[in-house]
A and B are shown apart, each in its own frame.
Chain A
Amino acid sequence: MTTPKINFKGMRDWTIDNFFGSKLGILLTVFSTIVITYFIVSMVSFLSSAEWEVVNTNRRLLLLGRLPEEDTWRAWPILWLFCSIFCSSIGAWGNPKKRELLLLLLAFLMPTAIFFSSTYIVHILATILIGSVAYISSKIIRRTSYIEILKKALISLWILIIPLSFAILIVGDGPQSNLWGGFLLNILLASVAVVAGFPLGILMAVGRATKLPVIKTVCTVYIETVRGAPLVGWLLLAWFVLPKFLPDLFGLNDLSVVIRAMIVLSFFASAYIAEVIRGGLQSISKGQLEAADALNLGYIDRMRIIVLPQAIRVVIPAIVSQFIGLFKDTSLVFILALTDLLQVGRIIPEQDPKFFGKQLEALLVVASLFWVVSVVLSNLSSKIEKNLGIGTR
C-alpha cells in the first residue's frame, strides 16, 4: 500500500476552503467575524476604561488574605519549595519542548507581573533561580544512574510538601489558621483535600470492587451519599454540625473553620477519587488477575503489587482533573466566611469609596489566577496522559 500524496494547498486555496468553501461556510465566516469583533470591541472598551488601582492596593490581601504583615515571609519558602520540586519533577520525568517551557514561564510570570513590586524583586528572582537550578540539576542527574533515587525522593517530597508547608506556616509562633486566606488558602485547601482524600479514596474504590457484600454496600453508600449532595451543603455541615460530632479530646471539637473545611473537603474529594480509581480498577485486564493467581498471591498482595500500581498509573490524568475541579470548588468556602481569593476579590471594591464599581476589574484578576493554575494543570494532565501512552495502546 502506498500512502496517497498529500496535495499541498497554497495560502489562497486554504483561505477559500476554510472561509468561503460553501454557502454554509460563508455564513459561518460572517457570523464568526461578527461574534469575534463584538468580543474584541467590548474587551477593548472595557480594558481602556478599567482602572487597576483596586487590585494594586490590595495585592497582599488577594494572595495571602488577612495573614499579618510580619508573617508574609512565610509564603516565600513555601513557593520556593513548591517551585523546586515542580521544576525538578519536570526535569526528571518530563520531556518538555522549548515552547512548553516558555508557556510555563509565562504562566508563572503572569500572576507575578500582576503582583510585582520592587520590595520583592529579590524574592522573585530567587524563585526563578531556584526553579531553573532545580530543573537543570535534575536534567543532569537524569543522565546518571542516580535518577531512580531522585524520582523516589521527589515522590515522597510531593507527599511531604503539605506537612512541610503547614510547618512553615506554623513554626515559631505563626499566625492562627483562621487568618490564612487569599490564593494561599485556595491552594492549601485543594492540595490537602486531594492528598488526604487519596488514601481513603483508594480504600473506598477497592472496597466497592470487592465481592464481599457488606463491605461493598457500605463503600457504595458512602460514595454515593457524598456525591449526592452539593459541596456547599457539606461545607455547611462543617460549619454547624461537625464540632458536635468530634470527640472532646485534644480540643478537637474546637477546631478552626479552616481545618474543618479541610476535613470536609478531604472526605468530599475521597468519594470522587474513589470513583476515578474504580474506573482504573475496571481497566485492568483479566489476564493480570489470573497472573497474580498463578503466582499464588493473596488478595492484599495482589492488590498491592499487581492491580493498584497499574490502576493508579492509568488514572493519574483523571486525578489531576479532579484536583482542578476541587481547586475551582475551593472558592465555595465563602459559605464558611473564609476569605479565600474570590471572597477577597468581592470584598475589596466595597472597602474604599474610591473603588466603588470596580468589581469587574477585581473579578477579572481573580478569574485569571484561577484560570492560569487550571490551564497549566490540565495541560500537564494531557502531557502525562501522552507520556503514559494511555489510549494509544
Chain B
Amino acid sequence: MKSFVDSVVQWSRFQRNRNIVIQAVFLFFVTLLGVYFFVRASGLELSLSHFSSRAGFGLSHTFLVDYTSNDSRWVAYFTGVVNTIRVCLVAIFLTTLLGTVMGVARLSKNFLTSKIAWTYVEVLRNTPLLIQIIFWQIVFLQLPQISEAITFGDTTAISNRGILLPWISDNGNAQIWFIFLGIVAAGSLYLSYFLNKREDVSGKSFSIFGNRLNGNLVGISLFVIVTIVTYFAFGRPVSMDIPEIAQNNKGTWMQSGGFDLSPEFAAILFALVIYTGTFITEIVRGSIQSLSKGQTEAAQAIGLSKYQAMTLVILPQALRSIIPPLTNQFLNLTKNSSLAVVIAYPDLFMVSRTIMNNSGHALPVFFLILLTYLFLSLCISLVMNLINRRVTRIGA
C-alpha cells in the first residue's frame, strides 16, 4: 500500500507537475503583491470622474481642438494628445529624412561630407536630449525682436515670437476638397501600382497615342490633373495665407496670418529631429554596410549611376534590416516628446501633469498617461509592421 507521501513523491517526479507547483507559488506571491498594492490604493481616489469638471487653465498651443479654460479636463487632455501626435508625426517624418541623408553621407567617398556626418553623430548622440531642447529654446528666444524681424520678402518672418511661414487658408469647402484629394491620391497610387504590376507580369505597358508611359508617371499626372481641375471646380477652396507683421494703433507689434511655428514647438521639434536623427544615421549606415560589396559592384556592372545604385539597389535591400530598429527609434521619439514639459509646450504629458497638480489624484491620471503612450506606441508598431511586411516580401 502506497502512503500519501509516496504518491506525492511519485507525482513530483514529472516535470509537468513540478512546473505547475512552481507557477502556483509564483502566482501566489504576485497576487500577494497585487493585493498589497490594491489595499494601499484603495485609500486613493481611483476614478477619472474629476475629468469632466472645468479645467481652469489655458494652453498656449491648441491645434484642431478649440480649447478654452472653461472646457472640461477631458478637452484639455485631448488638446495635449493632439499636440503630442502633431509634434511626433512631423518629427518622425523629418528625422527619417535627416537620418537617411546623414547615413548615406557618412559612407560618402567625399572626405568632408563623411566627416560632417561623423561629427554630427558623435557630438549630438552623446549629449542628453534635454540639453538639446533647452539649447534650441535659448536659440529661438535669442532671435531678434518682432520689430526687427528677419523677413524674406513677404513669405517668411523670423522673430523671437516664432517663425511665420506661408500657409494655406480655408475659403469654405477646403475640408471636403482635402478628403476628396485623399481619395484621389489613394486611387492614383493604386493605379500606378496596378500598371507597374501588369507591366512586370505581362509586359503590356500603358500607352497614349503610341507613347509608352510608366505607371508612376500615369499615377502622378492623374493626381496633378484632378487636383488642378477640382481646385477650380470646387470654387478655389484654398488660397495662400501670407504672414503679416504690423503695428496696431497702440504701437504694439502684431503678427497675423501664415503658419506660426512657435519657439516652443520649433525647439522640441528641432531637438527631437536632430537627436533621433543621430541614431537613425547609425542604423542606416550599419544596414548599408552589412550588405555585401557585391551589390554595389553589380549595380555598377549593369551601368547604374551612383544615385540609381543607391535608390534602386542598396536602399531597398538595406530597408529590410533598417525597419525594425527604426521602429524602436520612433517609439523612443514618441516617449521622448514628453520632455516638452521642460519648455512648457503643452503636450499630453504636461497637460496631464497640470491636471495631476490641480486635482491631487495622481494615480488614475498616471494610468491614463501610461495607456495613451502605450496606445500611441501600438499605432506606430502596427504601421511599421505593415511596412516591414511589405519590404521583407521577397520579389515585391
Mark A residues whose CB is within 8 Å of B.
Answer: 17-19, 21-22, 24-25, 28-29, 31-33, 35-36, 212-215, 218, 225, 228-233, 236-237, 240-241, 244-245, 324, 328-329, 331-332, 334-335, 342, 346, 359-360, 363, 366-367, 370-371, 374-375, 378
Number of A-B pairs, beta carbon distance below 8 Å: 136
Residues on A with beta carbons closer than 8 Å to the beta carbon of B110 = 18-19, 21, 25, 28-29, 32
Q: Please, how many angstroms separate the alpha-carbon atoms of A244 and B111 in the complex?
A: 58
B364 CB to closest chain A CB, in angstroms? 10
Lowest 4 CB-CB distances: which A-B pairs, in order?
A240-B362, A374-B126, A32-B112, A230-B335
Instruction: State whether A375 touches B126 (Cβ < 8 A).
Output: yes
Kindly supply a per-residue 1/0 record for chain B positions 323-365, scoring 1 wherever the CB is within 8 Å of any chain A CB and 0 otherwise: 0000000000001101101100000010001001000001100
Count chain B residues whose beta carbon lies closer than 8 angstroms to a beta carbon of A: 49
Pick from B21-29, B155-163, B174-182, B257-265 the stretch touching chain A. Answer: B21-29
**For window 92-147 of chain B, which residues contact chain A by CB distance below 8 Å?**
108-113, 116, 122-123, 125-131, 134-135, 138
Instruction: State whether B338 touches A241 (Cβ < 8 A).
Output: no
Instruction: State whether A332 touches B339 (Cβ < 8 A).
Output: yes
Instruction: State whether A214 touches B26 (Cβ < 8 A).
Output: yes
Q: Please, how many angstroms separate the alpha-carbon atoms of A363 and B139 in the complex?
A: 12
Residues on B with beta carbons closer than 8 Å to the beta carbon of A35 = 116
Residue of A with least CB distance to B123 = A371
B366 within 8 A of A: yes
A255 CB to closest chain B CB, in angstroms? 15
Instruction: State whether B109 touches A21 (Cβ < 8 A).
Output: yes
Instruction: State whether A331 touches B366 (Cβ < 8 A).
Output: no
Q: Please, how many angstroms separate the alpha-carbon atoms of A212 and B22 in the complex?
A: 9
Mark B residues whose CB is within 8 Å of A.
Answer: 19, 22-23, 26-27, 30, 37, 40-41, 43-44, 108-113, 116, 122-123, 125-131, 134-135, 138, 306-307, 335-336, 338-339, 341-342, 349, 353, 356, 362-363, 366, 369-370, 373-374, 377
Instruction: State whether A363 touches B362 (Cβ < 8 A).
Output: no
Instruction: State whether B370 touches A342 (Cβ < 8 A).
Output: no
Q: Please, how many angstroms separate the alpha-carbon atoms of A363 and B130 in the complex?
A: 11
Instruction: State whether B111 touches A19 (Cβ < 8 A).
Output: yes
Instruction: State whether A18 touches B111 (Cβ < 8 A).
Output: yes
Residues on A with beta carbons closer than 8 Å to the beta carbon of B37 = 245
Residues on A with beta carbons closer than 8 Å to the beta carbon of B363 = 240-241
Name the contact of B349 in the complex, choosing from A29, A232, A346 (C-beta under 8 A). Answer: A232
Instruction: State whether A370 touches B111 (Cβ < 8 A).
Output: no
Residue of A with least CB distance to B370 = A229
Instruction: State whether B341 touches A335 (Cβ < 8 A).
Output: yes
Having A237-B366, A335-B341, one finds 12 other A-B pairs with CB under 8 Å, namely A19-B111, A28-B113, A32-B116, A35-B116, A212-B23, A233-B373, A236-B353, A236-B362, A241-B366, A324-B126, A371-B126, A371-B127
Q: Please, how many angstroms separate the alpha-carbon atoms of A31 and B117 in the complex?
A: 13
11 A-B pairs with CB atoms under 8 Å apart are A19-B111, A19-B112, A232-B341, A233-B369, A236-B353, A237-B362, A240-B356, A324-B126, A331-B131, A370-B127, A374-B125
Name the contact of A342 in the complex, choosing from B108, B111, B131 (C-beta under 8 A). Answer: B131
B45 CB to closest chain A CB, in angstroms? 12
Q: Please, how many angstroms separate the alpha-carbon atoms of A328 and B336 in the complex?
A: 12
Q: A19-B112, A233-B349, A375-B122 are in contact. Are A228 and B131 (CB under 8 A)?
A: no
Instruction: State whether B366 touches A329 (Cβ < 8 A).
Output: no
B300 CB to closest chain A CB, in angstroms? 13
